[in-house]
């Protein structure tokens, strides 16, 4: 076997945190390789793999194990104790079928309607604001869409605002990749608050005091029985119900990036505004490909494996390069250009467009909410392109790729928002 390229040094964790999304691409380019070895998280050996073949390996359940590879702190803040993300084998497939059972055509159509309606309804609020931070406003609108889709009753307006902030605190915690950081305590408190509220709704549903609609998350997570015929523990049900709402709120990131793209790239806003949905679809896909969100994912070799002629020993940590794969010149022509039309002839491969993981929805850990994300993006972008007019004041539009998590420095500010039709 060939000798694997290595990054020198005892531990690269701090360098990863310093270079952010560019850490892996910087090295795959310099070493001219799709695979290299590093040491991270306390000097542990890890093999970084990048590209479409890497994703195929990573989502081969015989070769790659995912369970037990997420940093413990990250499980506590981002996903929750016992979350589906941490399960494996039959237990994972069984629980995943619950998540996927929510993704019927009818339910997704309902989500589309909710998205359209909540944004449309929000126009009055936007008109009354001096300036709107799109990222922040989207957080609250998405929380309402998420609760309503799950048929979770709204709490008081103050608490809804609090939960919206809480969701961001949990999502932001991935920027620490599980190391010590100042927001840890805050993210734990945020999680407790939202889990408490959701667990109460689950208990009330089970006691017959609350009647969510069949097909909603609250109904299905409350009543679902696993392969052993058991209901989920109420706290665990709350954790995984939240795993359908928190990531939905995280679409605030793609929304602010999308509004930025419509501002920065000539003609995009007008094309998204077209009647036909097909451009909005391509635009949503390109936003998910182009802008930085998930940097990489951890796993470990389940057996001795070979990748591109290199040997990887059983139990070696594997790191799948997400951001670099989405920006690979060999997979995406002019990868650094924002170009939605590239999706006109895309073959739909499960291994190249992997901003939300790859492989199969039912048997791999691929994101259960990918279709939801695309629908919410399509409808939200059409809202910003067609339903309202606004001005974009000077601000710092920088998206710093060395900072995790990815965000627009200004948050994306718009002002002078008005209805986009003539009522006379």
Interface positions with ligand HEM (CB under 6 A) = 84-85, 96, 99, 243-244, 247-248, 250-251, 254, 293-294, 297, 355-357, 365-369, 372-373
Smallest separation, CB 150 to ligand HEM (Å): 9
Is the Cβ of residue 111 or residue 392 nearer to ligand HEM in the bound state? Answer: 111
In angstroms, the Cα distances linking 30 to 27, 246, 318 are 5, 37, 20
Query: How far apart are alpha carbons 37 and 22 in whole angstroms?
Result: 16
Query: Using the 8-state DSSP alphabet, how is residue 81 labeled?
Result: T
User: Residue 132 belongs to what H/E stretch?
Assistant: strand 131-133
Please answer whether residues 341 and 332 qualify as being in contact, where contact means their C-beta atoms are separated by less than 8 angstroms: no
Closest CA relative to residue 230, chosen from 384, 91, 399: 91
Smallest separation, CB 416 to ligand HEM (Å): 28
Query: How far apart are the two ends of the chain, measured CA to CA in Å?
Result: 75
Kindly list the strands in the beta sheet with 35-40, ordered across the sheet, starting from the edge strand earlier in the chain: 35-40, 44-50, 317-321, 296-301, 64-65
In angstroms, the Cα distances linking 172 to 43, 309, 320, 412 are 25, 37, 20, 17
Smallest separation, CB 401 to ligand HEM (Å): 16
Reading the block at residue 224, the tokens are 């679902």
Is the Cβ of residue 5 or residue 405 nearer to ligand HEM in the bound state? Answer: 405
Smallest separation, CB 94 to ligand HEM (Å): 11
Residue with tokens 């999502």: 171
Is the Cβ of residue 34 or residue 244 nearer to ligand HEM in the bound state? Answer: 244
Smallest separation, CB 96 to ligand HEM (Å): 5
Smallest separation, CB 396 to ligand HEM (Å): 23
Smallest separation, CB 314 to ligand HEM (Å): 20
Is the Cβ of residue 89 or residue 153 nearer to ligand HEM in the bound state? Answer: 89
Smallest separation, CB 68 to ligand HEM (Å): 13
Smallest separation, CB 289 to ligand HEM (Å): 11
Is the Cβ of residue 119 or residue 390 nearer to ligand HEM in the bound state? Answer: 119
Query: How far apart are alpha carbons 286 and 5 in whole angstroms?
Result: 32
Residue with tokens 């990036």: 257
How far is residue 201 CA from its own chain's centroid? 25
Query: How far apart are alpha carbons 88 and 47 in whole angstroms?
Result: 21
Query: How far apart are alpha carbons 158 and 174 in whole angstroms?
Result: 26
In angstroms, the Cα distances linking 403 to 181, 268, 395 are 14, 26, 18
Is the Cβ of residue 378 or residue 417 nearer to ligand HEM in the bound state? Answer: 378
Please answer whether residues 64 and 302 qualify as being in contact, where contact means their C-beta atoms are separated by less than 8 angstroms: yes
Is the Cβ of residue 57 or residue 417 nearer to ligand HEM in the bound state? Answer: 57
Is the Cβ of residue 94 or residue 419 nearer to ligand HEM in the bound state? Answer: 94
Neighbour-count burial for 300-336, b at 16+ CB within 10 Å, e otherwise? bbbeebebeebebeeebbbbbbbbbbbbbeebbeebe
Is the Cβ of residue 130 or residue 214 nearer to ligand HEM in the bound state? Answer: 214
Smallest separation, CB 45 to ligand HEM (Å): 21
User: Residue 13 belongs to what H/E stretch?
Assistant: helix 13-19
The residue number whose beta carbon is nearest to ligand HEM equals 369
Please answer whether residues 388 and 418 qualify as being in contact, where contact means their C-beta atoms are separated by less than 8 angstroms: yes
Q: Where are the alpha helices (DSSP H) in 102-183?
A: 105-127, 134-150, 157-172
Is the Cβ of residue 238 or residue 297 nearer to ligand HEM in the bound state? Answer: 297
Smallest separation, CB 299 to ligand HEM (Å): 8
Q: Where are the alpha helices (DSSP H) in 265-306?
A: 268-272, 278-290
Is the Cβ of residue 294 or residue 305 nearer to ligand HEM in the bound state? Answer: 294
């Amino acid at each position: 076997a060939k000798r694997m390229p290595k990054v020198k040094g005892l531990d690269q964790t701090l360098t990863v945190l310093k270079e952010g999304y560019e850490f892996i691409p910087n090295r795959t380019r310099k070493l001219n390789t799709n695979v290299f070895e590093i040491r991270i998280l306390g000097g542990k050996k890890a093999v970084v793999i990048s590209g479409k073949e890497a994703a195929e390996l990573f989502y081969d359940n015989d070769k790659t194990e995912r369970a037990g590879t997420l940093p413990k702190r990250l499980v506590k803040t981002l996903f929750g104790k016992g979350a589906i993300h941490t399960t494996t084998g039959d237990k994972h497939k069984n629980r995943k079928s619950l998540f996927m059972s929510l993704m019927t055509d009818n339910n997704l159509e309902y989500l589309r309607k909710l998205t359209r309606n909540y944004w449309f309804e929000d126009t009055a609020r936007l008109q009354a604001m001096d300036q709107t931070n799109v990222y922040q406003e989207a957080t609250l609108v998405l929380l309402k869409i998420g609760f309503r889709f799950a048929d979770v009753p709204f709490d008081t307006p103050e608490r809804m605002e609090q939960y919206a902030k809480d969701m961001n605190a949990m999502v932001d915690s991935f920027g620490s990749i599980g190391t010590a950081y100042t927001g840890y305590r805050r993210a734990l408190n945020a999680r407790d608050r939202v889990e408490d509220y959701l667990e109460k709704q689950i208990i009330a549903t089970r006691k017959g005091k609350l009647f969510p609609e069949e097909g909603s998350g609250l109904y299905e997570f409350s009543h679902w029985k696993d392969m052993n015929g058991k209901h989920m523990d109420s706290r665990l049900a709350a954790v995984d119900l939240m795993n359908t709402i928190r990531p939905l709120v995280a679409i605030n990131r793609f929304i602010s990036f999308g509004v930025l793209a419509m501002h920065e790239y000539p003609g995009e806003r007008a094309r998204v505004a077209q009647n036909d949905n097909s451009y909005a679809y391509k635009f949503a896909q390109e936003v998910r490909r182009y802008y930085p969100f998930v940097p990489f994912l951890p796993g470990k070799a389940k057996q001795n494996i070979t990748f591109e002629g290199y040997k990887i020993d059983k139990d070696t940590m594997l790191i799948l390069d997400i951001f670099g794969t989405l920006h690979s010149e060999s997979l995406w022509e002019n990868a650094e250009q924002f170009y939605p039309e590239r999706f006109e002839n895309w073959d739909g491969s499960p291994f190249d467009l992997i901003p939300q993981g790859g492989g199969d929805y039912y048997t791999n850990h691929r994101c259960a909410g990918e279709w939801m994300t695309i629908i919410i993006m399509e409808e939200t972008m059409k809202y910003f392109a067609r339903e309202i007019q606004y001005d974009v004041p000077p601000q710092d539009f920088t998206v710093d790729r060395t900072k995790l998590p990815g965000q627009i420095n200004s948050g994306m500010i718009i002002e002078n928002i008005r209805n986009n039709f003539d009522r006379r």
